[in-house]
Structure 1
Amino acid sequence: MKNIVLIGPSGIGKTTIGVHISKKYGFKHIDTDNLIKSTYNISISEIFEKYGEGYFRKLESNVVKGISSSKSIVISTGGGVVLNKENIVNLRTNGIIFLLFGNIETIINNLKNSSDKRPLIGNNKDCFENVKSMYLERKELYISSSDYIINVDCKGINEIADEIIFYYKKHLSCSN
């Protein structure tokens, strides 16, 4: 079975939804940021501080390439995975790519409720402008990289997960 690949802006809920789908539907879940942390034994923030974004993107590409041949897993990617076209090519080889998308306010609310430190977003004072800037900068990349776009605004976790599974099953039945 193909993988369910979740892409979208940082803070949109990819990991939360990925974990929920894995529990509800029995898939294994892999979060690429968590895999980077465990594989290289360093936090994402430390990678950015010590080595910079370019180095992080190389690690991210290595991890994406390594998991792309897996089957029947839910992959929650980092918000910048779309910056490298090769990542999308690799993820698409055995995956259906779902863009989780919503308005900036949804992302900001999610970030306020998250304990994760996100190096490219910054502190609360800069948060809105940084989120808005990245959102606009990457929007077309997200859209062009996705097979399906799932709007998360005003929806609960169950509703989002069920919508993804609906399109996942439909996609599989149409490709046979």
Structure 2
Amino acid sequence: MAEKRNIFLVGPMGAGKSTIGRQIARQLHLEFFDSDTEIERRTGAEISWVFELEGEEGFRAREEKVIEELTEKTGIVLATGGGSILSKESRNRLSARGIVVYLQTTIDKQLARTQRDKRRPLIAEADDPRQVLEDLADEREALYEEIADITVRTDEQSAKIVVNEIIDQLGV
């Protein structure tokens, strides 16, 4: 990637953004960042604790700031949090500062990939995680599509195949 373009991965929780992002970064020799990991590093606390203490609004403010700073870098792959696209400012920054790849997945696949993960505050304590994921999809799907330059389904493919498909579509 001669011009060191940025690649930003968006999509719901459990779509594979972190796993796929790391592999893309490794193959293209780019630096990898995960916005949730960056928030945890900066706060010294897990996302669930930040949610508990500051609520979703406080977390989203932190997320917006992290995305603003990370998207100013060049030559990175960034895995964003599933709700990062709720911020118009973040959507604008992602669209303007790199290639946005939307990783699509089904609710069933999300449930399978997240069912034992207690670090996802929006579903960790939910009585009906499926309903929560369906509601989030209803709210966010159009926003992912709005900013996506490339859309790739991650359901029935290995991470390696998804990574190769993305790299092929990037033309690198």
Task: State the TM-score, normalized to the length of structure 2.
Answer: 0.92
Instruction: Pick which of 52-61 and 16-25 moved more.
Output: 16-25
- Match for residue 34 of structure 1 among 12, 32, 37: 37
Q: Is 1:133 the equivalent of 2:170?
A: no
SS at match of 1:121: helix
Aligned to 1:5: 8
**Unpaired segments ≥5 residues, structure 2:** none
Aligned to 1:145: 147
SS at match of 1:149: strand
SS at match of 1:120: helix
SS at match of 1:150: strand
Distance 1:46 1:74 in 2: 26
Distance 1:6 1:149 in 2: 10
Residue identity in the other structure for 1:101 = Q
What value does the CA root-mean-square deviation take over the aligned residues?
1.5
Distance 1:148 1:110 in 2: 23
Query: Can you list the C-alpha shifts for 1:130-174, whole angstroms capped at 9, x where unaligned?
Result: 11111122111111121111111201101100111112226xxxx
Q: After TM superposition, give the deviation of residue 2 of structure 1 in Å.
A: 1.1
Please tell me whether the aligned partners of residues 152 and 160 of structure 1 are also in contact (alpha carbons under 8 angstroms).
yes
Distance 2:69 2:166 in 1: 24
Q: Name the count of aligned residue pairs.
A: 169
- Point out 4+ residue stretches in structure 1 off by more than 6 angstroms: none
Residue identity in the other structure for 2:121 = P
Please tell me whether the aligned partners of residues 6 and 97 of structure 1 are also in contact (alpha carbons under 8 angstroms).
yes
Please tell me whether the aligned partners of residues 18 and 29 of structure 1 are also in contact (alpha carbons under 8 angstroms).
yes
Residue identity in the other structure for 1:135 = A
- Match for residue 101 of structure 2 among 94, 98, 109: 98
Residue identity in the other structure for 1:16 = T
Aligned to 1:165: 167
Query: Can you list the C-alpha shifts for 1:59-100, whole angstroms capped at 9, x where unaligned?
Result: 001101101111111100000011001101112232100000
